[in-house]
Amino acid sequence: MTDVIRDGARKLIEQAIEAELATLMAASAKDKLDDGRARLVRHGHLPEREVMTGVGSVPVKVPRVRDRKPGEDKITLQILRSK
């Protein structure tokens, strides 16, 4: 039973991550580099990471987002930031 709950939690977290990323990508769609390429691009997935939930930690896949603008900080989605 716990496995079913953890799997559901994993799916919900991954959906929330995808929704936040879609919002971020849409908001930055007009941001272009000098050569016309998109500033932010999806670039595969990061290694799975553990996210703590009420039912324990669950592994989630996190999309890799690349900011092509030199000197910019690494992009971390709000849902994954540590408090």
pLDDT higher than threshold 80 for residue 13: yes
Contact 13, 51 (CB under 8 A): yes
* CB neighbour list of residue 22: distance below 8 Å, 6 or more residues apart: none
Mean pLDDT, range 4-22, rounded to an integer: 94
* Sign of torsion over alpha carbons 64, 65, 66, 71: negative
52 pLDDT more than 80: yes
Alpha carbon distance 77, 75 (integer Å): 7
pLDDT tens sequence across 20-39: 999 999 998 898 988 999 99
Domain count, the chain: 1
Distance CA(2)–CA(43), nearest Å, equals 33
Mean pLDDT of 6-17: 94
Q: Domain range spanning residue 19? A: 2-80
The whole-number pLDDT of residue 82 equals: 64
**What's the mean pLDDT in 12-18?**
94
Q: What single letter denotes the amino acid at residue 42?
A: R
